[in-house]
Amino acid sequence: MTKKIDFKSKWFELVEIVVSWDIIPDVTLMELMEFSPTSWKIWKSKFNEKSKIHIEKYNDGSGERMIEIKYIKKEKKWTWKEKCHKQINKKHTNYPDYFLNFS
């Protein structure tokens, strides 16, 4: 019997790992998240899909910031970058409008 894995908790785990590494090889991320190569192939496509349409709110202890997780296919690496407020597009977040109205 296989155990059910919660996508949301695995996504937050991916965010934590990628931010702590800055740039991480795909295979290393797979190992740290304890996926088999077969299951990683499926999950990676879903994580990559989410990363293309979602900006993440992240708090590293020094404050809250908006970050974007990116998969660099040619290099087979995951990375992240901070998004300034002017770069955030409503369709890429699930946050209320008032959160996105920056002056």
How high is the pLDDT of residue 101?
Answer: 43
On whether residue 77 sits in a domain, the answer given is: yes
| Predicted confidence (pLDDT) per residue in 3-37, tens digit | 788 999 999 999 999 999 999 999 999 999 999 99
> How many domains is the chain built from?
1
Q: Are 23 and 84 in contact (CB under 8 A)?
A: no
Domain containing 37 equals 7-100
On whether residue 42 sits in a domain, the answer given is: yes
How confident is residue 54, by pLDDT bands cut at 50, 70 and 90? confident
On whether residue 69 sits in a domain, the answer given is: yes
Q: Are 14 and 30 in contact (CB under 8 A)?
A: no
On whether residue 1 sits in a domain, the answer given is: no
On whether residue 12 sits in a domain, the answer given is: yes
On whether residue 57 sits in a domain, the answer given is: yes
On whether residue 52 sits in a domain, the answer given is: yes
Tokens representing 82?
Answer: 């901070």
Q: Give Cα 36 to chain centroid, integer Å.
A: 19
Positive/negative CA dihedral, 68, 72, 78, 79: negative
Give the relative orientation of helices 37-53 and 7-21 as an angle to the nearest 10 degrees.
80
